[in-house]
Amino acid sequence: MSQDIWLPDGIRRPSPNFNLRPDPLMVDLLVIHNISLPPGQFGGDDIERFFTNCLDHSRHPFFKEIEGLEVSAHALIHRDGRVTQFVPLNKRAWHAGRSVFQGRENCNDFSIGIELEGSDNCPYSPQQYQSLAQVTCEICDYYPKITTDRIVGHSDIAPGRKTDPGPAFDWVRYRNSVASS
């Protein structure tokens, strides 16, 4: 796969925070995250600015805490269901950090990272579940090694360090939506 893979319905907002995968054909994991900037606040473009290294760190005290971090995800699903893609699926986004899945470290090497605009304890919107199911199916079309048992939360690959997508994420609803898509 030498050509970059972009989701057909996503808004492209390229991030500089990515690099090449060690083996682009070995993508076999989907990781679900959540993010809100500032924490607990939704809307605006702060997440997009953060993933593209354009965040004004003087605008909020929390932004000072994340200044200098270079992170990204393959895509962000906003509260209204819009999808913004930052990194082509065939490239390595910087979303997982220190992580391990089934004995394999550095999950960024072999995973796709999807961020949901949200927080651990705030219910996600119906539009987000709908878009996440659609995006999941599209990703699985590109990467058939990603099966339902290879879709995890950030908390599953970085236990004790990460808690997202949190208890508010309805795994049953999500898996049922994927199955019916």
pLDDT (tens place) for every residue of the chain, 181 residues total = 469 999 999 999 999 999 999 998 899 999 999 999 999 999 999 999 999 999 999 999 999 999 999 999 999 999 999 999 999 999 999 999 999 999 999 999 999 999 999 999 999 999 999 999 999 999 999 999 999 999 999 999 999 999 999 999 999 999 999 998 8
Helix (H, G, I), strand (E, B) or coil at 25: helix
**What is the CATH T-level fold of the domain 11-180, as seen in this structure?**
Lysozyme-like (3.40.80)
Q: pTM here?
A: 0.97
Query: At 140, phi and psi to the nearest 5?
Result: -65, -25
Which residues are known catalytic residues?
Answer: 115
DSSP state of 109: G
The C-alpha atoms of residue 36 and residue 66 are separated, in whole angstroms, by: 13
Q: Kindly report the CA angle at 84 between 118 and 171, in degrees rounded to 5? A: 40
Q: Give the span between the Cα atoms of 173 and 161, in whole angstroms.
A: 25
pLDDT for residue 33: 98
